[in-house]
Each structure stands twice: as C-alpha cells, then as structure tokens.
Amino acid sequence: MQVPAYVEYEKATSIEHALALLARFGPEARILAGGHSLIPMMKLRHAQLLDSPVAGQHFAILHDAEKVIADPIVRNWGTVGGSLCQADPSEDLSAAFAALKATMLIQGPGGSRTVPAREFHTGPYDTVVAPGELLTEIRIAIRPGGGSAYAKVGRRVGDWPVGAAGAAIWLAGDIITDAGIGLTAVGARHFSAAEAEEFLRGAPATEASFARAGEIAAAHCNPSPDQRGPADYKRHLASELTTRALRRALRRAQRQDA
C-alpha cells in the first residue's frame, strides 16, 4: 500500500493570499486545485464549465471536451486551471484551448502577464508558470461566424484519449477565414496543427478541404507507441478525428449564421 508523505495544508482566501503562501513556503509548495491529479502523483471546476450555457453557446468545443473527461466525481472536484497546469501530454482541455487560441493570464509577486495557450506548455508536465506564480484566468475572444467541436477516441469512457482533436473555424460565406486545430495524445507540437490551419485559411469549407487538413495535421504529429496503441494508429486518429471535428464545427457555424 502506498502512503503519501506528511504535508502541511493552508487554504488561500484570495489570489494575493495564495501568492503570499507560495512565497512563504518556497519551491517545495504545490497548489492544490481540486486535487484529483495531485493525490495520485503523491501516492472554475470542470462541472461548472460543462454546466455553463454561455460557454456552450459560444464555445461548444469546451462542452464536447468536458463531457468525455473522466467521470462526474472528477469533474465536480477537479478544476480547469489545475488540469492545464498539470500539463499532461494527453490532456483534453489543452487541445480545446489551443484550437480556440485562448490566452492565459498568469499572476505573480511582480504583477501579471499573458501567454498564448500554445506557448503555455513547455513539455510533458511542465508549463511557463514559474515558482510563486498562479494561472488566474483563461481568456477566449468571442468572434462571429464561427463554430467548434471536439472528437476523441479512448479505450473506455472517461479514460485518457488514445487520440483526440478539436477544431474551430470561422466563415465568410463558404470560405474559411480562420481556423484553429488542437490535438492531444498524438505528439503534436504545442497541442496544435499550425500547418493544417494555414492550409484551411482561404479554402472552401468542403469535405475535401477537411480531409486534406486532417492529412496535414497527421503528417506533422510525432506520436509515441504505448499501451494505448502503436504510432501509426495514433497518426491515423489524428487525421480522422481532425476531419470529424472540422465537419461538426462547420455544421455549428452554419446553424449560427442562420
């Protein structure tokens, strides 16, 4: 049986208090935001985002992703910021926020700074959040003429993805004016597919465009074989799920325009 080591716990009452505690306890201090990931590693909550009608109206991709994250117990305790800061290379929301081109607000003793979501993670289980800093906000611009969606394949319901893709597109008539593609668990740099996005800008919103974007996204992935599947299978998922997410994002964008 694994027994966690002794820890001291203090509950912060504000951002300023949390920053003071981090400064007081130094580099050994850890932020407990929900705790569903911290406890296994030692031995706004997901449910609130899932229940938010505003998030669902403007960013359907977030509801798609939240519905397939773990189970109700985890979603009731775990936090969105905590999941992002854990920086698991298979994190669903990292791909979703990359697709939406979100911006992270980080606050520390010296003030606050903003970082694009695609620059937030520096590697597996590592972010740009420095010791003594906190991720305090996630900002997403509301833009007209768009739609978004998330598609995932896992070994069982609520499990980490074998592969997953998120897509957001913005239209002017039948032409794609901008696109965002997020990928997770398939070795995509910065959880995104910049080359596929570039291909889509100015392209017609057709099945052929989406299929080609999926191929480009897969070609720039570097998946690792593991117990969830071989690299070739994960690369296939990157292509197929990108196409599926784009297809659904288009349907949502067209309904919004109507």
Considering the domain boundaries, does residue 17 fall inside one? no
For residue 4, tell me if it sits in a domain: no
Q: Is the Cβ–Cβ distance between 106 and 135 less than 8 Å? A: yes
How many domains in the chain? 1
| pLDDT reported for residue 92 | 97
* 39: in domain: no
Domain of residue 206, residue span: 53-68+88-258
Q: Check residue 256 and give its pLDDT.
A: 52
Domain-located, residue 220: yes
Q: What is the DSSP string of 30-63?
A: ---SS-TTHHHHH--BHHHHHH-HHHHHH-HHHH
Contact 214, 242 (CB under 8 A): yes
Whole-angstrom distance, CA of residue 148 vs CA of residue 66 = 14
Residue 66: name the closest of 79, 137, 245 by CA.
79
> Is residue 25, in this structure, part of any structural domain at all?
no
pLDDT the model gives residue 258: 37
The domain that contains 247 carries what CATH number?
A: 3.30.390.50
In a domain, 23, yes or no: no
Ordered per-residue pLDDT tens for the chain, 258 residues: 444 556 677 888 888 888 888 888 777 777 766 544 443 333 389 999 999 999 999 999 999 999 999 888 889 889 999 999 999 999 999 999 999 999 999 999 999 999 999 999 999 999 999 998 999 999 999 999 999 999 999 998 889 999 999 999 999 999 999 999 999 999 999 999 999 999 999 999 999 999 999 999 999 999 999 999 999 999 999 999 999 999 999 999 998 543
User: What pLDDT was estimated at residue 6?
Assistant: 62
Kindly state the DSSP code that residue 145 receives in the 8-state scheme: T
Handedness of CA 173, 257, 171, 234 (dihedral sign): negative
Q: What is the pLDDT of residue 2?
A: 47
In terms of Cα–Cα distance, which of 192, 197, 185, 171 is closest to 237? 185
Model pTM score: 0.83
Instruction: Give me the count of residues in the chain.
Output: 258
- Cβ-based neighbours of 69, under 8 Å, separated by 6 or more: 46, 75, 83, 92, 93, 158
Q: Is residue 15 part of a domain?
A: no
Q: Quick check: is 135 in a domain?
A: yes
